[in-house]
Amino acid sequence: MNNKKSKKNKITKKTKNNSKVVKMKSNINSKNLIQFKKLRVTLIVCILIFLLLIIRIGFLQFVQGNYLKELAYKQQTINQIISPKRGNIYDSTGKALAISAQVDTITINPNKIKKDSDEDTKALKEKIAKGLADIFELNYEEVLAKVNSTSQVETIAKKVEQNKVDELKKWMEDNKITIGINIDEDTKRYYPYSTVASNTIGFCGNDNQGLSGIESKWDSVLTGTPGKIVSYKGSDQNEIPNSEETYISAENGSDLTLTIDLNIQTIVEKYLKQAVEDNLCSRGRKCYSNGSKNRWHFSNGLLPRLWFKYTLHSKCYFSKNL
């Protein structure tokens, strides 16, 4: 009996021990499973972050690369634009219908206008603003705002005639001002024969861009390519003293020669104006015939061959139906 009881007790103990082992193993497995899940989540998050970084780097490199490069270049450099000379327009005999004469543009570098103390700097800026406003007949407060600006370059006056430039140079010499004010070469459009063929030739705006007629149609040919002087600035956004400058010369625009003959154009416009007035017309842009395919009638005796030559070029013509 005793042997049977001892055997039974042994079996019971083994069973209890086995159940404890099973419980310990299950606890260990559940802990391992939790740790594995945590590790997997952490790994997935790391992979996602890595992928996002790769996408962001790719976006900055390939999509915004040129923009950021240009932005960095602007932050490190100061560009002084050199305007190209616009090409001339000639008639068929070589007479100039539109020319570009040299004028100047006055700009300032506000960051260069300074003295040792703040009070002296303020006084100098007010003095410069007063001088520029008086010479170019500008509003003092507006000029002072530009002088106090934090930008690298401010434009004071465009298309300045030589007498005003000479006056500015004398004022700068008298007041011993050598930096901060720039006199940059520019061009201004002139039309020597005033309104002759003006509808055909067109005109330019203040920035020398063609706005109508041939000036607009052939603007890309006439304009040319601007040049620039590139200097470098430090982290304080001021120009680095004695730093190397890069000079890129401007390419002047090409000239155009038209088939218009200035003499014929002048005669035709004279008779056209008279015909408009005689026939109480608002303008001379209508053309009438007597129905014949080959014969046109002209109210003031202008030869047909001259008239047709005119109409081919200017596309502005008038004829009276007799």
- Residue range 291-315: mean pLDDT, rounded: 41
The region of weakest confidence among 155-169, 222-236, 304-318 is: 304-318
Which sequence spans correspond to the domains of the chain?
A: 1-63, 77-257, 262-314
Residue 60: what pLDDT? 75
Residue-wise pLDDT for 247-275, tens only, equals 788 888 999 998 888 998 888 888 888 87
Among 79, 103, 109, CA closest to 228: 79
Residue-wise pLDDT for 16-69, tens only, equals 555 555 555 565 566 666 777 778 888 888 888 888 888 888 877 777 777 766
Torsional class of 208: left (φ above 0), alpha (ψ -120 to 50), beta (otherwise): left
Residue 97: what pLDDT? 92
Task: Confirm whether pTM is higher than 0.85.
Answer: no
CA distance 272 to 198: 14
Residue 194: what pLDDT? 86
CA distance 293 to 303: 17
Q: What percent helix, strand, coil does the chain show, rounded to 5?
A: 50, 20, 35
CA distances 24 to 11, 15, 57, Å, are 20, 14, 49
Confidence class of residue 151 from pLDDT cuts 50, 70 and 90?
Answer: confident
Q: Is the model's pLDDT at 318 over the cut of 90?
A: no
- Residue range 275-283: mean pLDDT, rounded: 70
* Residue 225 DSSP code: B
Q: Which residue has the higher pLDDT, 94 or 304?
A: 94
| Contact between residue 121 and residue 115 where contact means Cβ atoms under 8 Å apart | yes
Residue-wise pLDDT for 94-147, tens only, equals 999 999 888 888 998 888 888 888 888 888 898 999 999 999 999 999 999 998
The region of weakest confidence among 6-20, 149-163, 239-253 is: 6-20
Mean pLDDT, the chain, rounded, equals: 75
Q: Domain 77-257 class?
A: alpha beta
